[in-house]
Amino acid sequence: MPAERLHLVRHGEVHNPERVLYGRLPNYGLSEDGRGMARAAAEYIAGLDRPVTSLRCSPLQRTQESAEPFTEIFGLDPVIDERVIEPTNVFEGTRMSRSLRNPLNWWHLRQPSIPSWGEPYASVSERMEEAMNSAWHETDGGDIVIVSHQAPIWITHLHVAGLRLRHDPRTRRCALSSVTSFERVGDVWREVGYAEPAATGGAVDVGAV
């Protein structure tokens, strides 16, 4: 039988003292507070008293570290899935506030509906749905946890809700270590819950857009 519920979990706070947009860059791991946030997410899902039988995450360091509390609590080794990775972004490694003041970079902002600065929203939506479908059908009962990133999770929310994918990244409802939950009825996904179990008020790095 297939799985029963799928939880998309955002990673915890990243140690990012230079405040750059890190995107897919290597060596960006969790801060000390970020590790606490990741544990809060794992403990929240454990508190739902539902069996978790599958754990997956993106290949980036911050998601793998955010999956560690789930391994400890549920005894599952995470499966790395490239399809749930952060989208590409031409501004990786820069501070957005500085980059946007440079007229040479304005060309990348010409089509925000795609967006023209990185991977198309439609591409992100397609690969996320593929990853969710695979996890659902490959899991024999119980719940699935996929540790991913803000943009893929929010784009999945928009797609499942039937909303347009174009959006202002500043409006995303996807806090650090938040949990967005889905169920599948037939071939249709539906969102069934959203929670912010981690205290994030003191976070220094809330995620690049």
Please choose, from the candidates 21, 29, 22, the residue with its C-alpha nearest in 3D space to the C-alpha of residue 12: 29
Mean pLDDT of 132-156: 97
Does residue 201 sit within a domain?
A: no
Please choose, from the candidates 50, 49, 87, 62, the residue with its C-alpha nearest in 3D space to the C-alpha of residue 9: 62
Task: List pLDDT tens digits, range 23-77.
Answer: 999 999 999 999 999 999 999 999 999 999 999 999 999 999 999 999 999 999 9
pLDDT for res 209: 42
Q: What is the band of 17 on the pLDDT scale with cuts at 50, 70, 90?
A: very high
Mean pLDDT over the full length of the chain: 95
Does residue 166 sit within a domain?
A: yes
Whole domain around residue 58: which residue ranges? 5-195
**Eight-state DSSP code of residue 206:** -
Farthest CA pair distance, the chain: 55
Does residue 56 sit within a domain?
A: yes
Mean pLDDT of 7-20: 96
Q: What is the band of 207 on the pLDDT scale with cuts at 50, 70, 90?
A: low
Please choose, from the candidates 8, 30, 24, the residue with its C-alpha nearest in 3D space to the C-alpha of residue 205: 30
Please choose, from the candidates 135, 157, 188, 191, the residue with its C-alpha nearest in 3D space to the C-alpha of residue 3: 135
Does residue 208 sit within a domain?
A: no
Using the predicted structure, report yes or no on whether residue 89 has a pLDDT greater than 50: yes
Does residue 33 sit within a domain?
A: yes
List, in order, residues 6 or more apart from 121 with CB less than 8 Å away: 114, 115, 155, 165, 166
Q: How far apart are CA 109 and CA 90, in angstroms?
A: 10
- In the chain, how many domains are there? 1
Q: Name the more confident of 98 and 157.
A: 157
Kindly state the helix (H) or strand (E) to which residue 191 belongs, with its residue range. Answer: strand 188-195
pLDDT for res 178: 98
CATH number, domain with residue 118: 3.40.50.1240
Does residue 67 sit within a domain?
A: yes
Q: Label residue 124 left, alpha or beta by phi (over 0 means left) and psi (-120 to 50 means alpha).
A: alpha
pLDDT for res 97: 83
Mean pLDDT of 141-161: 98
pLDDT for res 202: 85
Question: Collapsing DSSP states into helix, strand and coil, what is residue 148?
Answer: strand
Does residue 174 sit within a domain?
A: yes
Mean pLDDT of 149-172: 96
Does residue 78 sit within a domain?
A: yes
Q: How far apart are CA 65 and CA 29, in angstroms?
A: 7
Percentage above 70 pLDDT, the chain? 99
